[in-house]
Each structure stands twice: as structure tokens, then as C-alpha cells.
A and B are shown apart, each in its own frame.
Chain A
Amino acid sequence: MFKEIIFKEDAINKPEKGRLPTSIAVLCGVTILALCTLLVGALISTQRHSEGLQQVVSSMLNKSGVENPVTAVLLNFRSYDTLLEIAVLLIVAIVMLPQATVSKSLSLIRVQQSADPGLIMSSLLRFLAPTLIIMGGYMLWTGAYSPGGAFQAGALIAGAGILIFTNVQYQVNMQSFAFRALLSIGLCIFILSGFAVALQTGQFLEYPQKYASAIILFIETAATVSIATTLLLLYLAVAGTQEEFNHDA
């Protein structure tokens, strides 16, 4: 059913293999079209609902500790969902961790001065990486007032990390203790602060109103670090940089 993978460089004209017969293709097309028509019809015929939960959220917004409704829902009203989301991310990271080929005792990041990254790479890194990291911090901070937040900030910082570790001079040791700590800090802090606020309010993850804003920022900061590390790990695991770490160790 799926086409063979062909790289442009080594395939000029390969005969097409594995194409669906025309009749089946037409049948599939008709079925999908009918389903789409039904879906669009259902959407159009559905009566537009009232405001939904928007009013409830905006009426409770001043108690949440933040001014952005999205952040309020994510980290206060429905923080349990976000907690589980972070846990899912950690599981993904654990699954994606490459096999242990590097000693645990080696440091987190190794700098190889001898390798030449090239002029473009090094200058790009010099300008872009600090900017991206500052932008990530800004995103995290601004999440309380306007669009932004932990996930967006984490993605930006992960982008900076990819840029840094695409450079041949820098390599990260994914087996080291520090890397694992960075991966799991988000979930740990989230659960710990969930229990800590339970001491005060008696309910898991129910923040005391006075400190809500500070607690949310604290959790978000830890979550940002973990999200950034997880996304970076996804890239590094696929790119297979760990083999090189070992080679010239």
C-alpha cells in the first residue's frame, strides 16, 4: 500500500510499485467524501451552543492567580490533566532514550574544541541560541498575562538546544544523571507541589489563593525545563548523535 521510499539522489525513474487498483482507489475516495459530507453536514446542522465554559472561567479568573484564561485552565482549574500530560511526556522520553553505550559517569555536555563547526554554524549559533533562550524565558513569564506558557517556552528552548547540538563541537551525554534529572524535574516538582499545597488546603493540587501565581510560575518553570529536554531528546535520539560521543571518548 505504501510507496517505496525513494531518495531524489539515487532514483531517477523507478517504476511505481504497490499502487492501489483504480476501482479500490475510487471506492476509498467515495467513502471518504461521503464521510466528510456527513461530518460537515452535522457541523452545519448543529445548533451553536451558548458560551460554553467561557463565562465560568472568566468569573473565576481573579481567583486563579494568572490573567490568561488558557494558563488558568491548564495550570489551575484543570491542573490534574496537565500533570498527567507531563507524565506522558516523561514516558515518551524514557521510551526514546537510546541504549546505554556511554558511561554514566561522563559529564552532561562535552565541548570539543578541535572540531570545526564552520563559519555559518558558529556565527548562527552565537546570534540565535541566546536569543532563543531569552525568548523562551519571556514566553514562560508572559504566559501569566497573554498567550504563551510552559509548552511554547519549552519548544523554543528545545529549538535552541537542537541548534546547539547540531554543531559538532558540542555533544550531550544522555546517560548521565544530570540529563535524567532534567527530564524528570517537571513531573517531580509538579507532584511535590501538588502535595505541598494539599497540606495547606487539604486537596491535591488546590493552590492557596494567595500564593497561586507564584506556585504556577514555579511549576511552569520546572515543566519548561523538562519539556525542552524531552523534545531535544527526541531529536537527538533520531539523529543518533550518541554513537559519536562514544567513538572519540
Chain B
Amino acid sequence: MSFSFFLDIFLIGGSLTMAWLCLFSHDLLKAITCFVCMGLFVTLMWIRLDAWDVAIAEAAIGAGLTGALLLSSRRGLKKTAAKKESGEKRSGEKKSGEQDV
């Protein structure tokens, strides 16, 4: 059992764990972080396979850019959720007001 064997096991286990955590976490922020971590694990796997081109692309796009995209979509979702909530509240107030009249 050489060092590289343990390294491979670590990378496989790490990426699978991260994928699991990403899929089954309730917190979106945690899921996104786990996704980015999985991207970095996969990058290291590509390096182990001597595919440097793919590793660079995976690190830049898979982990970095997609992470940024997901984070900004999360912010957008939150914004619309807040808008919806405030809209509902307003309409609720109106309804109660009408009832009073």
C-alpha cells in the first residue's frame, strides 16, 4: 500500500462525501460550499490522472465560476422570496382593512 493509493482513496471518499452532503443538506449555503469543495476534490482527481488541462478548467469553471453563479442565484431567490412575503403581507393587511370597513 503506497502513499498514492491512500491519496486516491482519500480523494474518492472526499468527493463522494461532499456530493452526499451537497445533495442532502437543507441549508443552501452549506450545499453550495460542499459543491465547491467537491469541485476541488475532482480537480485533484484530474491531476492524479495527469489531465492538467481538465484540472485547470474544472478548478476555474466547475468550482469557481459555478460556485459564484450558485451563490448569486441564491441571493436572487432570497430577494424574490422577500418580495413575495412582503407582497402577501400587504395584501393581507388590505383584506383585513376591508373587513373592518
Contacts and interface: CB of A to CB of B under 8 A. Distances in A.
B61 A148 contact: no
Interface in B1-57: 26-30, 52-53, 55-57
A238 B56 CA distance: 24
Interface in B41-84: 52-53, 55-57, 60-61, 64-65, 68-69, 72-78, 81
A231 B61 contact: yes
B56 A235 contact: no
B61 A155 contact: yes
A6 B56 contact: no
Contacts of B69: 234-235, 238
Contacts of B78: 7
Interface string A143-165: 00011110110011011001000
B76 A147 contact: no
Interface residues of A, number: 25
Contacts of A5: 28, 77
A88 B74 CA distance: 26
A7 B75 CA distance: 10
20 contacts: A5-B77, A7-B28, A7-B29, A8-B30, A146-B52, A147-B53, A147-B55, A148-B56, A151-B57, A152-B53, A152-B56, A155-B61, A155-B64, A159-B60, A159-B65, A162-B68, A231-B65, A235-B65, A235-B72, A238-B76
Interface of B: 26-30, 52-53, 55-57, 60-61, 64-65, 68-69, 72-78, 81
A-B pairs with the 6 shortest C-beta distances?
Answer: A147-B52, A155-B60, A239-B72, A8-B27, A152-B56, A147-B53
